[in-house]
Structure 1
Amino acid sequence: MTSLPLPASFPVGGRRLVVYVVWDRRGGVEDFVPFALAGLREHAARVLVVVNGSLSEEGRAKLEPVSDEILVRSNAGFDIWAHKDALDHVGDAIGEFDEVLLTNDTWFGPVRPYGPVFDRMGERAVHFWGMTDHVRQEPNPFTGKGVLPYHLQSFWIAVRREMFLSEAWRRYWAELPEMPTYFDAVLKHEAVFTETFAQDGFTHDVAFPESDHPTEHPALFNPDLLVEDGCPLVKRRPLFHYPPFMNRHAVSGRRIVETMSAYGYPAELVWSNLARNVQPKVLNTDAGMLEVLPDRALADEPETVPRLAVVAHLPQTKDVPRVVGALRSVPHPFDLFVTVHDAGIEPELREAIRAVDPAGLAETEVRVVPEHGRDMSALLIGCRDVLIDGRYDLVIKVHGRTPRQRSQNARRYFSRYQLENLLNSPGYVRNVLALFDREPGLGLVYPPMMHVGYSLPGRAWSFYLPRAKQICEDAGIQVPLDGISPLAPYGGMWIGRPSALRRLLDMGFTFADYERPRSKSVPALTKVIERLVSYAAAEDGYHTRTVLTGEHASISHTSMEYKVDQLASTTPGYPLEQVQFMHRAGWMGTGGAVAMTRMYMRINHPDLARRLHPVLHPVGRVVRVGLRTAKATLRRARTLVKGGRDD
């Protein structure tokens, strides 16, 4: 048996090859990538960037200054097969190096300098090393059985020449299996790489071991502690992983980004990347992007006062005191653009505005627009010129409508919730506007989804989703759509940058497109566009924050807490397990016999339920129609009997 070369430290003046894999759904390169590579370049003799998929000319221009070579390949086999292709591409020239670093674009960095970690690990005589590791788990969480071995995490594996010149290394990559799914990549490479080479006698080490941290997966659960310990990078996943899972493990994405910023990492690189590539509601949740703001201004007057436009849709004069009255809280001068449906009310409307007399009001213009699309078309079509000519830094969108099919209390709360959470007081509005001053990539601010007096949670996409997908495809919006409810300004009031609305403004819709559909099965365009505001902004790199006053935060949290407590009372476990259980059960409907049977089968006999679904689904539809018909017949019969008795 051939003895292995002894492990060696990284030699003084040694040469390091960095292989960095990039994937972008648009074929571009996000700005955090060249920032990461610029820091690595001083520690590498050669930087080879491998692009999975396509690469635009703009993307290539970003990569060329921070790399020595760019290899574009098909997007197959994830990062692992990209590393394999890179090693094949380098070929025998790999012998020119003392260490090969295999890494990718799944992390932000440098948050702390790379140098101290390279120096510390370079002194250790090992065959390979990683940045972080993962504990052995039984059963394997990916399969529910067997063992997930202890392993170094594959996003950063550094290998010394004593190992990458070995026959074991050549054999491993030559026999690498196909990896069509993400789970294949984990189970067929990441989870076995460390164990495979350890069993062959190669030694390894880790820069930031999990044993030094309070959880078994610090890269996911404790990235802030890793950074404080000197780790130069933060994994992106903690800011877009399934929110109930992150909640189960008490991970604070808000704390993670604050820690990164405290060490000098540009937060705008985080927000622009995640805005374009993460479901907005997931990002809003994982990163804790709700701001509860006080009425006392937290910052001094800005050096540059933002140029403000207010677009107010006020088809009825009676709405002026409530809506224009709220504009008294705007602490800076603003121009007011009022949209109406009836030109005849303009004199009365102007008089009502003069009676309110907001202190910051500079100019007022009244525009007559068609009724189709109400406040949404009035803004995007009727006031398009206001938003595209560069006169204004921010636009405040308000309106006077209240939901018709709601109780009086719900209508009152709707108006309070929308206006107060945007325009509660001069100090509060100063704090909202300061968010835009602090974050150049902040595109939109609005109140969170209403749930007091509303049943939006769990159903906000409803039947709007298919048309929303089509509009996104037509408009080139590739931001992933949230699965159940979108992050959206329900109620139609927000503060935003005109540039964040560019895609909505350029969609080419006319007032006629906003006409109310004749069929109730066709979703109204105004409701669909309302649900896509943050997605359109995110495609251009703008993120969204939600805002609440202290009073509304108190109302919202206590109400939501009680409702969650009630909903969770019949299912065991953490919210994560409760949610997973209910999702397995599927749609309950009104709790009829068909639905209960279907849920029982899905929970207790999932394989059988899947096989029977093509047969039972149409049968279930017939049964439901039959039951509804029978119930309706019985109701009519009772009515006739009762009517006969009354006679």
Structure 2
Amino acid sequence: MVFPPDGRRLVVYVVYDRRGGVDDYVIHALEGMRDRASHILVVINGKLSDDARRRLAPVSDEILLRENVGFDIWAHKDALDHLGPRLVDFDEIVLTNDTWFGPVRPYGPVFDRMDALDVDFWGMTDHAREEPNPFTGEGVLPYHLQSFWIAVRRSMFASPQWERYWRELPEMPSYFDAVLKHETIFTETFVEAGFASAVAFASDDYPTDHPALFNPTLLIDDGCPLVKRRPFFHWPPFLDRHAVIGRAVLEKVEASGYPTSLIFENLARTVPPKVVTTNLALLDILPRTEVTASEDPASLRVLIVIHATGVASVSPLLERLSWFPAPVDVIVTTSDPELAPAVEELLLKHGQNISTGDVRVVPSANGRDMSAFLIGCRDELLSDRYDVFVKLHDRLPTRRGRTVSEYFRRYTRDNLVGSPAYIANMLALFVREPGLGVVFPPVIQTGYATTGEGWSWYRGMGQDLADDLGIRVPLDGITPLAPFGGMWVGRPEGLGPYLAAEWTYNDFRDRSRELVPDMQRLLERLVSAAAGEQGLHARTVLDAEHASLTHLSTEYKIDQLAVNLPGYPIEQIQFLHRAGWMGTAGAVAFFRMYMKTNHNKVVQRLDPIMHPFGQGARAVLRRVRAGAAAGRALVKGARR
């Protein structure tokens, strides 16, 4: 069946948003299809806020709200059932969803080309036959049109085979069910029933079996109007293995005229922050000796908050105030009233670039610089007076050797306020990207073993705190993208979830004896997620010196770690994850690793029995360690 010149096209577009909202990229996608669709039905999986319904109204003809079950496949089924006899009013149904960004190229040429084909159904992209099936490890993955966009003509959707397919559609509680029970069999089922199919951009024309994931830039070059979200949010080691460079895809999308701010906003709200920065390569190496940014940061209204613990330690930070490209407002916080007069003198001494300066004595040392910032400066951060804040402090790690502590000082300061040119280049990032929420150096690699243990024992409490603050951004799994050390630059809007909470200094008290993590350390680890909840993304920054040191030392360490592991890094990572925690490499640990690696099904059957015992043992061990630490502190105090 050829799509008639005066044909009527129905678009069924499925949306899922855990907040009940609708992102701008969805509105943009639907706006683009408006002149090619006679009727647009938006199906909402889950909930829908009043504001989201209002925003959808101009770009849709009908909204169907349903329970979030069965993924987009059962949403399409419910939409077809909802329309019922009205379906025959249309010549073509496009079943699609919100898993792509577009239009990055015009829809029109694709519709025109496919309208002229005498087919019963067609897809935007396809996936070649693959053996063995990558989802099951055995059998065959059939050739199939990808289900994120399938258009069906009346010759097929008015047939008994179509009615039977949807009537007998099995339940799909998992993503793999949706793939194996629908996407991979849909095409084969209807082709074998005698219906003719076509694809707009065939995998045979590309160097891989899955061009929507592996060759998105080539698809854009050929006029494909859609870019899948997956190249931006898929597991970074997998994309690295196949050299799928999200930043290159983003640059191609931007060159095509698509507003990439829509992509950043959606990814910031829905993807773990470290995954976004890794896949999009959001690390900027900023020059220290020359201003290379074309944007002028002098227009930014900047608030600098510095927490002081001593005159000698805070003085170098105050000296750098003159390095900012335009006058700034400065608040120096301290919990030591005796320190305030000396700091005030320093502010006067370095006041040539200060619009307003204030030394603020906070009533408690609980939470140190974090509480002083969020509570002591809350009014300023909630006001509309500032575009950007710079949060600094003068403290050094107390449990590190001198060389490590000194390098920590250099690393954090050089990569935030390293020189006048560096500061100008960094602030220019906020002018260039209105959706940029936070900037800080990557996790320090020299002298620290944070990698792999960034959450430590904070992960559970971190998730609880995120839930309490209304942060629904998925948290990073191992080491969060965070300003470890507590210094960063950001927009006040990115602190929204923090500033909505009316904390007291008592909330920041030391509760380590109760085995409760410090509030300041939890908040430090949630900075990127808090900004992401506001639709603001994060970037990391380094100067060339620290970038060179970090890259080369990390490369060497990875080389040493991988020497006894076969395969590509993704295979090495999967092997280690499968083996599990090594502990102190004792006999029990090695036996557990052997069982998990070679007899994982047995381990899974025993885990419900053994897991509670393991939790109890670890809880006892934590209490013993905490008691020992308290004892050492008492002894140390008695010796003074």
Any residues of structure 2 matched to 1:437-448 within 5 Å, and which?
Answer: 437-448=431-442
- The residue number in structure 2 matching 1:101 is 94
Q: How many residues align?
A: 620
Q: Which amino acid aligns with 1:125?
A: D
SS, match of residue 230 in structure 1 = coil
Question: Is 1:569 matched up with 2:560?
Answer: no
* Partners of 1:339 and 1:366 within 8 A in 2: yes
The one of 409, 414, 421 aligned to 1:415: 409
* Partners of 1:136 and 1:151 within 8 A in 2: yes
- The residue number in structure 2 matching 1:459 is 453
The one of 600, 603, 611 aligned to 1:609: 603
* Partners of 1:329 and 1:424 within 8 A in 2: no
Any residues of structure 2 matched to 1:356-367 within 5 Å, and which?
Answer: 357=350, 359-367=352-360
* Cα separation, 2, equivalents of 1:208 and 1:415: 53
- The residue number in structure 1 matching 2:57 is 64
Gaps of 5+ in 2: 622-640
* Cα separation, 1, equivalents of 2:509 and 2:322: 34
- The residue number in structure 2 matching 1:228 is 221
> Displacement of 1:352 after TM fit?
3.4
The one of 325, 328, 331 aligned to 1:337: 331
SS, match of residue 447 in structure 2 = coil
Q: Which amino acid aligns with 2:503?
A: F
* Partners of 1:129 and 1:158 within 8 A in 2: yes
Any residues of structure 2 matched to 1:309-328 within 5 Å, and which?
Answer: 309-328=303-322
Question: Is 1:517 matched up with 2:538?
Answer: no
Aligned in 2, Cα 1:288/1:515: closer, same or farther, shift over 3 Å?
same
Question: Is 1:595 matched up with 2:589?
Answer: yes
Question: Is 1:534 matched up with 2:520?
Answer: no
* Partners of 1:32 and 1:108 within 8 A in 2: yes
TM-score scaled by length of structure 1: 0.93
Q: Which amino acid aligns with 1:77?
A: G
- The residue number in structure 2 matching 1:632 is none
* Partners of 1:325 and 1:358 within 8 A in 2: no
- The residue number in structure 1 matching 2:419 is 425
Aligned in 2, Cα 1:621/1:467: closer, same or farther, shift over 3 Å?
closer
> Displacement of 1:41 after TM fit?
1.0
> Displacement of 1:622 after TM fit?
10
* Cα separation, 2, equivalents of 1:164 and 1:518: 63
Q: Which amino acid aligns with 2:432?
A: R
Any residues of structure 2 matched to 1:429-508 within 5 Å, and which?
Answer: 429-508=423-502
The one of 287, 292, 303 aligned to 2:285: 292
Aligned in 2, Cα 1:518/1:103: closer, same or farther, shift over 3 Å?
closer
> Displacement of 1:438 after TM fit?
1.3
Q: Which amino acid aligns with 1:183?
A: F
* Cα separation, 1, equivalents of 2:228 and 2:118: 27
The one of 340, 356, 365 aligned to 1:346: 340
* Cα separation, 2, equivalents of 1:605 and 1:303: 59
> Displacement of 1:362 after TM fit?
2.5
The one of 101, 109, 116 aligned to 1:123: 116
- The residue number in structure 2 matching 1:244 is 237
* Cα separation, 1, equivalents of 2:614 and 2:265: 46
* Cα separation, 2, equivalents of 1:334 and 1:623: 53
Q: Which amino acid aligns with 1:596?
A: F
RMSD (Å), alpha carbons = 2.0
Aligned in 2, Cα 1:306/1:101: closer, same or farther, shift over 3 Å?
same
* Cα separation, 1, equivalents of 2:401 and 2:514: 22
* Cα separation, 1, equivalents of 2:615 and 2:133: 39
* Cα separation, 2, equivalents of 1:176 and 1:518: 53
- The residue number in structure 2 matching 1:630 is none
* Cα separation, 2, equivalents of 1:618 and 1:234: 45
Aligned in 2, Cα 1:78/1:518: closer, same or farther, shift over 3 Å?
closer
* Partners of 2:100 and 2:227 within 8 A in 1: yes
* Partners of 1:395 and 1:496 within 8 A in 2: yes
Gaps of 5+ in 1: 1-7, 628-647
The one of 193, 196, 203 aligned to 2:196: 203
Question: Is 1:30 matched up with 2:20?
Answer: no
* Cα separation, 2, equivalents of 1:626 and 1:362: 54
Question: Is 1:55 matched up with 2:48?
Answer: yes
* Partners of 1:324 and 1:358 within 8 A in 2: no
> Displacement of 1:285 after TM fit?
0.9
* Cα separation, 1, equivalents of 2:347 and 2:458: 36
The one of 245, 264, 279 aligned to 2:272: 279
Q: Which amino acid aligns with 2:186?
A: F
Identity of aligned residues (%): 57
Aligned in 2, Cα 1:580/1:165: closer, same or farther, shift over 3 Å?
same
* Cα separation, 2, equivalents of 1:365 and 1:625: 46
* Partners of 1:320 and 1:352 within 8 A in 2: no
* Partners of 2:272 and 2:476 within 8 A in 1: yes
* Partners of 1:504 and 1:533 within 8 A in 2: no
* Cα separation, 1, equivalents of 2:355 and 2:619: 60
* Cα separation, 2, equivalents of 1:84 and 1:106: 18
* Cα separation, 2, equivalents of 1:201 and 1:617: 53
Aligned in 2, Cα 1:380/1:618: closer, same or farther, shift over 3 Å?
closer
Question: Is 1:45 matched up with 2:38?
Answer: yes
> Displacement of 1:12 after TM fit?
1.0
Q: Deviations over 1:303-332 (max 9, x none)?
A: 861111100001100113322233333211
Q: Which amino acid aligns with 1:406?
A: R
* Cα separation, 2, equivalents of 1:528 and 1:450: 18
* Cα separation, 1, equivalents of 2:348 and 2:449: 38
Aligned in 2, Cα 1:144/1:300: closer, same or farther, shift over 3 Å?
closer
> Displacement of 1:620 after TM fit?
7.3
* Cα separation, 1, equivalents of 2:396 and 2:514: 21
Q: Which amino acid aligns with 2:302?
A: L
Q: Deviations over 1:362-413 (max 9, x none)?
A: 3221011121111101100011111112111111111101101011111111
* Cα separation, 2, equivalents of 1:305 and 1:626: 56
* Cα separation, 1, equivalents of 2:605 and 2:329: 62
Aligned in 2, Cα 1:180/1:518: closer, same or farther, shift over 3 Å?
closer
SS, match of residue 36 in structure 2 = coil
Question: Is 1:183 matched up with 2:176?
Answer: yes
SS, match of residue 443 in structure 1 = strand
> Displacement of 1:255 after TM fit?
1.1
Aligned in 2, Cα 1:240/1:358: closer, same or farther, shift over 3 Å?
farther
Aligned in 2, Cα 1:418/1:76: closer, same or farther, shift over 3 Å?
same
* Cα separation, 2, equivalents of 1:512 and 1:89: 55
* Partners of 2:512 and 2:518 within 8 A in 1: no
Question: Is 1:157 matched up with 2:150?
Answer: yes
> Displacement of 1:340 after TM fit?
1.1
* Partners of 2:440 and 2:488 within 8 A in 1: yes
Instruction: Report the more deviating stretch, 301-310 or 148-157.
Output: 301-310
Aligned in 2, Cα 1:619/1:375: closer, same or farther, shift over 3 Å?
closer
Question: Is 1:133 matched up with 2:126?
Answer: yes
SS, match of residue 519 in structure 1 = helix
* Partners of 1:594 and 1:620 within 8 A in 2: no
> Displacement of 1:361 after TM fit?
2.4
SS, match of residue 185 in structure 1 = helix
> Displacement of 1:201 after TM fit?
1.5
* Partners of 2:415 and 2:440 within 8 A in 1: yes
Q: Which amino acid aligns with 1:88?
A: D
* Partners of 2:15 and 2:97 within 8 A in 1: yes
SS, match of residue 526 in structure 2 = helix
> Displacement of 1:621 after TM fit?
8.8
* Partners of 1:594 and 1:624 within 8 A in 2: no
* Partners of 2:40 and 2:61 within 8 A in 1: yes
Q: Deviations over 1:102-157 (max 9, x none)?
A: 00000011111100100011111111111111111111111111111011100000
